Chains A and B, each alone.
Chain A
Amino acid sequence: MPGLQRRPLPVPGAGGAASGPRARLSRLRAPGAVAVAIAGATCWLALVDPHTPGQYGVCPLLALTGLYCAGCGGLRATHDLAHGDLAGAWAMNPLLVLAVPLVAVLWARWAARRWRGAPVPPREQPRLWPAWLLLVVVVGYSALRNVPALAPVLAP
């Protein structure tokens, strides 16, 4: 009964729900490209050590104001994670360490949806809280990292 009145939104770029192996592969192009890009960047960071100052340039915010933003230590944390050094990565950027499994799960869900090719059912009230949550987390984390009392835990 609800199916009679429900019209699906198109999956952007999915090209319909064709189920042939060629259609599946073409739908997986975007998740595959993202995975290759992340893997390539991680390999680069694993080989070229960002712990050396100036290896990847300087952060304009840190150079001009001396403030740590939410991304500070992100390259070093990625390097440490790629070398299996979880404690070192946590010391550099704990939020990035926490975000890695979340991003992996979101990527897997995205790729699985593209693999199935089924259109996304419409949502009469779109979910807005993840965006606001991201804003609060990033801004709050950026602010707290610069509090001297919390610096041993949060600052790189």
Chain B
Amino acid sequence: MSVSSTPPAHDGAAAPSAGQASPHHPQPQHPTQQHPAQPQYPAPQYPAQQYPAQQYGAGSYGYYPGGPVGYPRNELAVWSLVLGLVSLVLGCMYVTGIPAIILGNRAKRAAEAGEADNPGLATAGIVLGWISVVLGVLLTVALVVVFGMAAAFVQGLRDAF
């Protein structure tokens, strides 16, 4: 999972050498590979390529020039937290509590693999998910017990009179 996925930006100098050309030497390839018939215009067509957002292609340069670029699995922890919060609001808590736990665990693994930087949100989602599941089980058991006792009480009254 972590081998083929996108590493964070601070690993960019070492990681791309595995499966592609080093990002520090992209310029010499363009005249020979893509523009063999126009050798007189090699470099000026790609001024932005001097400082590319290296492993994320042309779509990301310029947006976050200095900051960390791209944690592609950050949404896992956010979904876990949201589902955990929603499960506290819902009457049927398991429906979103259990997915919150599953997604939170996946988000933690993604954070360990360097694909996300928000393991705190994942922990919150897991904790909220567990709280809602335990609360849901307790409420269900309590309701069954209360209704069972009420039914037995009514039955006892009917038997007595």
Proximity bits, B141-152, A CB within 8 Å = 1, else 0: 011000100000
Binds A, one of B36-44, B67-75, B153-161: B67-75
> A1-34: which residues lie under 8 A (CB-CB) from chain B?
1-7, 9-10
Q: List chain A residues, Cβ under 8 A from B5.
A: 7, 9-10
Proximity bits, A48-70, B CB within 8 Å = 1, else 0: 00000000011111111000011
Are the CB atoms of B74 and A128 closer together than 8 Å?
yes
Give the CA-CA distance A106 to B126 in the complex, in Å.
25
Are the CB atoms of A123 and B92 closer together than 8 Å?
no
**Total residues of chain B contacting the partner, CB 8 A:** 46
B34: Cβ under 8 A from any A Cβ: yes
Give the CA-CA distance A105 to B78 in the complex, in Å.
22
Are the CB atoms of B56 and A6 closer together than 8 Å?
yes
**Total residues of chain A contacting the partner, CB 8 A:** 35
Known contacts A10-B4, A131-B79: A126-B56 contact under CB 8 Å: no
Contact partner, B143, options A4, A58, A131, Cβ 8 Å: A58
Please name 10 further chain A to chain B contacts, defined as beta carbons within 8 Å, in addition to the given A10-B5, A132-B78, sorted by A numbering: A5-B55, A7-B5, A60-B139, A61-B91, A63-B143, A122-B72, A125-B60, A132-B82, A134-B86, A135-B82
Residues of chain B whose beta carbon lies under 8 Å from any beta carbon of chain A: 1, 4-6, 16, 19-21, 23, 26, 30, 34, 52-60, 63, 69-75, 78-79, 81-82, 85-86, 89-92, 95, 136, 139-140, 142-143, 147
